[in-house]
Amino acid sequence: MQAAREWLAKARSVAVLTGAGISAESGIPTFRGGGGLWKQFRAEDLATPQAFARDPVTVWEWYDWRRCLIARAQPNPAHLALAELENRTPRFSLITQNVDGLHDRAGSRRILKVHGDIWRLRCAACGKEWDDYTCPLPQLPPPCSCGGMARPGVVWFGEALPADVWTAAGQAAASCEVFLVIGTSALVYPAAGLVTVAEGAGARVIEINLERTPYSGQVDCSLQGKAGELLPELIKS
Ligand code: BJW
Ligand code: ZN
């Protein structure tokens, strides 16, 4: 921990990749593992364009439930620590796979949402996009003014990540001195591949996770525990 703390304190350029685990202590279930969302709901039935085409109401019920859970949740000390780290680091990028918006609410500014945003709606017919924070939504699926139905503005399996955001994420990973990987199982690509990009570019890689991940054996520092406890300790300089 001490060495990692010094790398972070000295770094002029830091990039961070977060996953569902960073929001777990805010009461938002993760996708995989004990209590993961997908134990109760089959992922392949919900987070794919095919599922939405087949049964948009069920998919929307899942998202509406999650939106209401997130709306009641608060950012935790891990989210707040990243906002603080951004304030004292000259070049900082927060790459998040999370769609919950808790990084925004914690005060982070440069956020690259590679899997979209649960508060954003997009018309499946005309492509119009808008923000909607209503919980619960009065009508599922929510209608667009064109008469079409909206979908959540998130990235499902088999869909491309938003190109501009993904390019910026790749650049951040390839040009940072320290790369922090927090609360992700690192199983979903291409986001998980950013760890290899950062490593290949010579960054010090620090992982924080409750459990071991496919990258734990190859990172420079693997810290096992809760992000809300370890991250505030790690950024103390
Ligand atoms: C804590 C903690 C605490 C808990 N403190 N830690 C083989 C077959 C089929 C597909 C593929 C394949 N190989 C590759 C693919 C592609 C596929 C993929 O990766 N599949 C794998 C699963 C195999 N990827 C895609 O399809 C992507 N698109 C793509 O590749 O496009 C190609 C293309 C190009 C051009 C044109 C068209 C297409 C898209 C992936 C989209 C992922 N979407 C989701 C849903 C988003 C919306 C929503 O939220 O509903 O993103 S899936 C879900 O997984 C979500 C997450 O962002 C993502 C990652 O999960 P995450 O964040 O890592 O969470 P968990 O639950 O897995 O892990 C939590 C971790 O936290 C655990 O490790 C815990 O230990 C830890 N933890 N408490 C610290 N307190
Ligand atoms: Zn429309």
pTM above 0.95, yes or no: yes
Verify that 172 and 211 share a domain, yes or no: yes
Verify that 68 and 90 share a domain, yes or no: no
Q: Model confidence over 198-232: pLDDT tens digits?
A: 999 999 999 999 999 999 999 999 999 999 999 99
Verify that 68 and 140 share a domain, yes or no: yes
Verify that 84 and 15 share a domain, yes or no: yes
Contact of 8 with 231, CB cutoff 8 Å: no
CATH of the domain at 140: 3.30.1600.10
What is the count of structural domains for the chain?
2
Ligand 1, closest atom to CA 186? 63
pLDDT (0 to 100) of residue 33: 72
Three-class SS state of 194: helix
Annotated catalytic residue within 66, 115, 120, 151: 115
Verify that 89 and 177 share a domain, yes or no: yes
Please tell me the distance between residue 101's alpha carbon and the centre of ligand 1 in angstroms: 17
Q: Which residues surround ligand 2, an ion (CB under 5 A)?
A: 123, 125-126, 128, 144, 146, 148
Residue 195: pLDDT above 70? yes
Residues 6+ apart with CB under 8 A from 223: 1, 4, 206, 207, 208, 209, 230, 234
Q: Who lines ligand 1 at CB under 6 A?
A: 19-21, 24-25, 30-33, 36, 47, 97, 99, 115, 154-160, 183-185, 187-190, 208-211, 213, 226-227
Verify that 45 and 21 share a domain, yes or no: no
Residue 39: pLDDT above 60? no
Domain that holds residue 136: 29-72+118-154
For this structure, is 115 an active site residue? yes
Take residue 51 and report the two structure tokens written for it: 């599922």
pLDDT (0 to 100) of residue 40: 66
pLDDT (0 to 100) of residue 37: 58
Verify that 109 and 122 share a domain, yes or no: no
Three-class SS state of 204: strand
Please tell me the distance between residue 177's alpha carbon and the centre of ligand 2 in angstroms: 43
Please tell me the distance between residue 185's alpha carbon and the centre of ligand 1 in angstroms: 8
Pocket mutation for ligand 1, best pick of 16, 22, 25, 31 (most atoms within 8 Å of C-beta)? 31
Verify that 149 and 33 share a domain, yes or no: yes
Ligand 1, closest atom to CA 188? 19
pLDDT band for position 185 (cuts 50, 70, 90): very high
CATH of the domain at 185: 3.40.50.1220
Verify that 23 and 33 share a domain, yes or no: no
Verify that 123 and 221 share a domain, yes or no: no
Of 154, 176, 202, the residue that ends a domain is 154
Mean pLDDT of 8-20: 98
Average pLDDT, the chain: 95
Q: Model confidence over 88-143: pLDDT tens digits?
A: 999 999 999 999 999 999 999 999 999 999 999 999 999 999 999 999 999 999 99
Ligand 1, closest atom to CA 190? 30
Of 154, 180, 201, the residue that ends a domain is 154
Verify that 133 and 36 share a domain, yes or no: yes
Of 103, 130, 154, the residue that ends a domain is 154
Buried b (16+ CB within 10 A) or exposed e, 71-82: eebebbbbbbbb
Q: Which of 154, 183, 160, 162 lies closest to 63 in space, CA to CA?
A: 154
Verify that 105 and 171 share a domain, yes or no: yes
Please tell me the distance between residue 143's alpha carbon and the centre of ligand 2 in angstroms: 8
